[in-house]
Chains A and B, each alone.
Chain A
Amino acid sequence: MTVVITPTMIGQVIISGLLAGALYAMVALGLGLIFGVMRVLNVAHGPLLMLGAYTTFWLFQLLGLNPYLSLLVSMPLLFLAGVVLQRVLVHRVVDAPELSSLLLMFGVSIALVNLAQLGFTSDVRSVEYLTGSFILGPFAFSKSRVIACAFALAITAGAFVLLKKTRLGKAIRAVSQSREVAQVCGINVQRIHLITFGAASALAAAGGTLVAVMVAIQPEMGQVYTFKSFLVIVLGGAGNYPGALLGGLLLGLIEQLSSLFITTQVNEAVAYVLLVLVLLLRPTGLLKGRS
């Protein structure tokens, strides 16, 4: 069977790729923040996203709340969860060797998934809210993806403004550049760590809420986002926050293009081949990351 690839199809996948990429970028920014500020690789990032998706599902199911409005609940709720995680567990391993924090975060990841299985069962859930597409000329855009992309871009932009312009943002960037100097500048590093973990969890929660209307919701839905975020951060350069945006868009594009030109089954494999190439050729990321 041969499929003729038309320019319209290429245009369509590029747009789909960018739509998905914006969401990846937002979620990955959270992972990147925690890594940049604390040098902790938070493999529980995806399970936090899963909790965000469940928050949206239950609010929709029980109260009929508009899934997009539930951002106002899922983000603060997971912010709080992130703060608690940091306060109770993660702060103990910030100064420990990387392996300790990695092990701890794996444990947290497994615990969150199991708790979700226990509390919500492993049944696959979905939020039937928005179906259909916007049609523009020859292109069709899934409504839920367009809206998710718009929210993701807005939230990412908000996070960048916060990092760049506000005093808190400057303090976060300062701590990620040097904790010791930040201390002698009077910055309460523990507090910045709490806020960072909270904010990163809120970004994961936003991702969970936005994908809740698109994908099947189940306790193990999160892990794939941990890996995607990791990929985005490597593509963009660890510790380079604008790089996360580029990395996210790139990952979305690569996935879509490879499913068009090769097959859908291999798009993750293609992404990982790319990961290996970047690590070999540009280990500091595509933009100049911190070495």
Chain B
Amino acid sequence: MVDRVVKRFGGVTAVNKVSLSLEAGRIYGLIGPKGSGKTTLFNCITGVDQADEGQIRFKGQRIDGLKPHQIFHQGIGRTFQVIRVFPELTALENLLVVTTDDYAAARARAEDLLRFVKLERLANEYAGNLSYGQQKLVEFVRVLMTDPELVLLDEPAAGVNRTLLNELLDAVRTLRDRGKTVLLVEHDMKVVMGLCETVFVLDHGEKLTEGPPGVIQTDERVIEAYFGR
């Protein structure tokens, strides 16, 4: 899917020939020390940044070079590392703003999704007034408005309390069970190990290794990348 992608910023190569291959219906983790290129890779996949080299294919079609809103319509949704809700729209409006084919159905779906994460009581509250964790849930279900095939989550667990986190993780598993693909960046290793079936490790913009979480955890190179020699 992601094939030898390179992204440079000036003289810095943020992502260097990284290839990832994702199968439908699985949860993947993307880990690595700070500055290893995880978010840049997300940005390349979603069209926020344009890859300098390499190809990105989704369902057999090249999507590199498309605009972010076009990639969104191909069925790729994402959340951000620092939450990005629209603070001056209500929770419900945050979902309704998502472009869908059928606006009438969108309202019902938005209400369903808020119920899914138990936020229906707060539907008409400005998103900026919700707690950090609640905003994160709003951002998460906003991604689900169009029923995307691939969901990219940038640090879904950061700053979320345990109760809300468990709801979020359950929601991610439910997605997987419905045949969706999830790729998540996460620093909380418990979350990564408990959730992901395959983990990709980035270091200095290059893919260090990939494998099941149990194997990754004991990989010397991974430990070295995180803690140094």
Contact = CB atoms under 8 A, between A and B. Distances in A.
Contacts of A195: none
Interface stretch (A50-58, A94-102, A147-155, A171-179): A171-179
Contact of A189 (B69, B77, B93): B69
B69 A188 contact: yes
A124 interface: no
B155 to A, nearest CB: 16
A185 interface: yes
A173 B46 contact: no
A214 to B, nearest CB: 36
Interface string B122-159: 00000000000000000000100110000000000000
A7 interface: no
| Main SS class of interface, A | helix
A181 B89 CA distance: 13
Nearest to A189: B69
Contacts of B46: 184
Given A167-B103, A173-B88, A177-B86, A186 B69 contact: yes
A181 B80 contact: yes
B89 A173 contact: yes
A194 to B, nearest CB: 14
B87 A177 contact: yes
A186 B86 contact: no
Contacts of B84: 178, 180-181
B69 A170 contact: no
Interface string A131-174: 00000000000000000000000000000000000010011011
B221 to A, nearest CB: 33
A186 to B, nearest CB: 4
A157 B192 CA distance: 51
B86 A187 contact: no
Contact of B78 (A177, A182, A184): A184
A185 B88 contact: no
A183 interface: yes
A10 B129 CA distance: 42
Given A167-B103, A178-B86, A186 B146 contact: yes
A177 B96 CA distance: 15
Given A170-B96, A174-B97, A183 B89 contact: no
A182 B47 CA distance: 13
A180 B82 CA distance: 13
A130 B24 CA distance: 70
Nearest to B103: A167
Interface in B31-84: 46-48, 67-69, 72-73, 77-78, 80, 84
Contacts of B68: 183-184
B99 interface: yes
Given A181-B86, A183-B48, A185-B99, A170 B72 contact: no
B48 A170 contact: no
Contact of B97 (A180, A185, A188, A290): A185
Contact of A186 (B85, B87, B96, B98): B98
Contacts of B86: 173-174, 177-178, 181
Nearest to A290: B88
Contacts of B97: 167, 170-171, 173-174, 182, 185, 187
A170 B78 contact: no
19 contacts: A167-B96, A171-B97, A173-B88, A173-B89, A173-B97, A174-B86, A178-B84, A178-B86, A180-B48, A181-B80, A182-B97, A183-B67, A184-B68, A184-B69, A185-B97, A185-B99, A186-B69, A186-B73, A188-B99
Top 8 A-B pairs ranked by shortest CB distance? A186-B99, A183-B68, A186-B72, A181-B84, A174-B97, A177-B86, A185-B98, A170-B97
Given A183-B72, A186-B72, 15 more contacts: A167-B97, A170-B97, A181-B80, A181-B85, A182-B97, A183-B67, A183-B69, A184-B48, A184-B68, A185-B99, A185-B145, A186-B146, A187-B69, A187-B99, A188-B69
